[in-house]
Structure 1
Amino acid sequence: MSSSLWRRLAESGPFWMIVAGFCFGVMGVFVKLGSSSFSTAELVFYRCLAGVIAILAVALPARRPLWVPWPAMRVHLTRSVSGFVSLMLYFYAIGHLPLPTAVTLNYTSPLFLMLLTALWLKQPPQAGQWLAIVVGFAGVALLLRPTLDATQWLAGVVGLSSGLLASIAYMNVHELGRLGEPEWRTVYYFSLVSSLGAGLVMLCQPQALTPLSFGNLWILLGMGVAATCAQLSMTRAYCKGKSLIVASMAYLTVVFSTLFGMLIWRDVLPVSSYAGMLLIVGCGILSTAASSRR
């Protein structure tokens, strides 16, 4: 690749969102691989600990301030706790559902975000936005219908709940942006709180902890590297590109996860599931576009 082409790509928001979507998909692969050996809390702990270490390695030498005044800290804590619980639910769903199904359910967050905006901020959706919400959740029904059996219905509800809590986290991210908080500090507190929360859950079940070995360490390293690269790429994408275009391209994670599921686990979902995924992604993009105009 020529240096001039690389420079152009390095300044392209869509390019970095493609990288982020790919890396988030790779992270999902490692989470699913690790779910057979590690508990959900362990996976969340190691994933977020990698983020804490990566940010501290950059922030401390540059003497960037980590502490913030209480009004901003309160929002950081709300965002971090909701994000932590959402991540726990998301990783559980990945371990118990086909990868593309779990990822798509988590990406219902824009639909929930529009509903929460109407309830909390008293900004009722317009007719077209209501249609996007209704059609989007019809897609959820199509996606979950084949999995609502005795063994997977709970995982489906958990995956959908992760999307709901993620929407609460995103509302707080927006508030932090309004307060002038940098993205790296938002990611830092989320990673820190999630590491501590997952660590407490692990301490409550010490007998269930999985010893680290060369046979499983590569899964944790792969997950941590992929998650950190995804976070950094997504942050750069929003800095370099137009927010609406970049946010819409975030749904590439669903595409990559579907391809990984087919290649690695031979996941072939019913036609109705793929139709549901298309409805969720399409309505999610419309919801994102509507939210950006507010």
Structure 2
Amino acid sequence: MTSAASSDRPHRPLFAIGLRLIAVICLSIMFVSGRIASERGVNLIETVFYRQLIALPVVFAWIASSTGLSAIKTRRIGVHATRMAIGLIGMMLNFLSYILLPPAEAATIGFTMPIFGTILSALVLREATGIHRWTAVLIGFAGVLVMVRPDAGHFPVQGVAVAIAAALVTASVSLVLRELGRTESAGVVVFWFTLLSMVPLGIAMPFYAQAHDMVTWGWLLAIGIVGGVAQICLTAALRWGPVSVVLPMDYSAIIWTTLLGVAIGQGWPMATTWIGATLIVASGLYIAWREHVRARPPIVSLATPPPD
């Protein structure tokens, strides 16, 4: 996808926001459904396998009806394989975080992904990161401490560690996606991630597959379908609106996961969760805003990016 093509595409910001909102709701449903499936005896390998298997035809049909099957050709299968390996680990950790923690708390810690993205960009990509974004990083981590309150023992340490690891790995995926995005469309990336992940998952499944009742199969089917729809909506949203417009919708996950958590008997989050979430969300939004400001073209040729 060329920059020229991107610039010629009309923007429909409200449509893009709606698509992103649908994606976030679907992801919230997917992860909470994964928790329910786990309570019904489904192991993590099975959950991720069926999520990818059922989503694959959904993604395939979307690509066939939009860009055409010829669009899935790639010369960078090695980079796609790297993205698959890291992404698969991240997906498993995210599912596990929702199993070990209440949904609202798992989603809130997941909001630290932009914070880890900033750290990795500075350490790995050597991007200039100044006082503004480092301050936002510290505020975000302060929000995690406020929410978790390690001294109080509100949440299992293992669950918190898994949720933080999930955010870190997801941020690592963003670095690989940045590299792939130079030559590959979003649809190609989604397709090869889903397809390639079936190889390691297919090898592992004979050791983990179990029989389940019809209700449990229904939950697994829901995980795959809403997961596929979420991928499509995430990708489509960026076709109709810039990241800076659609990104704030991601933070609505705290609303949907809270409601879903109440529905499955987890109760309302504590006050410290809301305070911590406010700090983490503010940190993530500020990081996104700074990146947006620095990415704007200068008004005159001698202008320089604002200090970070």
Same fold (TM over 0.5): yes
Corresponding residue of 1:3: none
Deviations 1:215-246 (CA, angstroms, capped at 9, x unpaired): 21110111111111111111111111122011
Alignment of 1:142-153 (within 5 A): 142-145=146-149, 149=153, 152-153=156-157
Corresponding residue of 2:72: 66
Corresponding residue of 1:47: 51
Change (3 A) 1:243 1:197: same
Alignment of 1:6-155 (within 5 A): 12-36=15-39, 37-59=41-63, 62-69=68-75, 72-145=76-149, 149=153, 152-155=156-159
- The share of aligned pairs that are identical, in percent, is 26
8 Å Cα contact 2:237/2:246 also seen in 1: yes
Change (3 A) 1:65 1:14: closer
8 Å Cα contact 2:56/2:194 also seen in 1: yes
The 3-state SS of whatever aligns with 1:121 is coil
8 Å Cα contact 2:30/2:222 also seen in 1: yes
1:189, distance to aligned residue in structure 2 (A): 1.7
Corresponding residue of 2:244: 244
1:199, distance to aligned residue in structure 2 (A): 3.1
Change (3 A) 1:147 1:221: farther
Q: Distance in 1 between matches of 2:249 and 2:200?
A: 31
Q: Distance in 1 between matches of 2:280 and 2:155?
A: 24
8 Å Cα contact 1:48/1:195 also seen in 2: yes
Q: Distance in 2 between matches of 1:274 and 1:168?
A: 27
Deviations 1:109-133 (CA, angstroms, capped at 9, x unpaired): 1110100111112123221111110
The alignment yields a C-alpha RMSD, in angstroms, of 2.4
Structure exhibiting the larger radius of gyration computed from Cα positions: 2
Aligned pair partner of 1:162 in 147, 161, 166: 166
One-letter amino acid matched to 1:75: V
Corresponding residue of 2:303: none
Q: Distance in 2 between matches of 1:168 and 1:153?
A: 23
If the length of structure 1 is used for normalisation, what is the TM-score?
A: 0.87
The 3-state SS of whatever aligns with 1:64 is helix
Question: Unpaired segments of 5 or more residues in structure 1?
Answer: 1-7
Q: Distance in 1 between matches of 2:153 and 2:203?
A: 32
1:172, distance to aligned residue in structure 2 (A): 1.2
If the length of structure 2 is used for normalisation, what is the TM-score?
A: 0.83
Deviations 1:30-52 (CA, angstroms, capped at 9, x unpaired): 11111112111111111111222
Question: Unpaired segments of 5 or more residues in structure 2?
Answer: 1-10, 296-308
Deviations 1:123-181 (CA, angstroms, capped at 9, x unpaired): 232211111100101111222226974982112101110100101111111211112x1
The 3-state SS of whatever aligns with 1:35 is helix
Corresponding residue of 2:282: 282
One-letter amino acid matched to 2:202: G
Q: Distance in 1 between matches of 2:281 and 2:194?
A: 27
The 3-state SS of whatever aligns with 1:42 is helix
Corresponding residue of 1:4: none
Determine if the alignment matches structure 1 residue 271 to structure 2 residue 271.
yes
8 Å Cα contact 1:93/1:155 also seen in 2: yes
8 Å Cα contact 2:35/2:99 also seen in 1: yes
8 Å Cα contact 1:82/1:168 also seen in 2: yes
Q: Distance in 1 between matches of 2:251 and 2:118?
A: 17
1:289, distance to aligned residue in structure 2 (A): 2.4
8 Å Cα contact 2:17/2:245 also seen in 1: yes
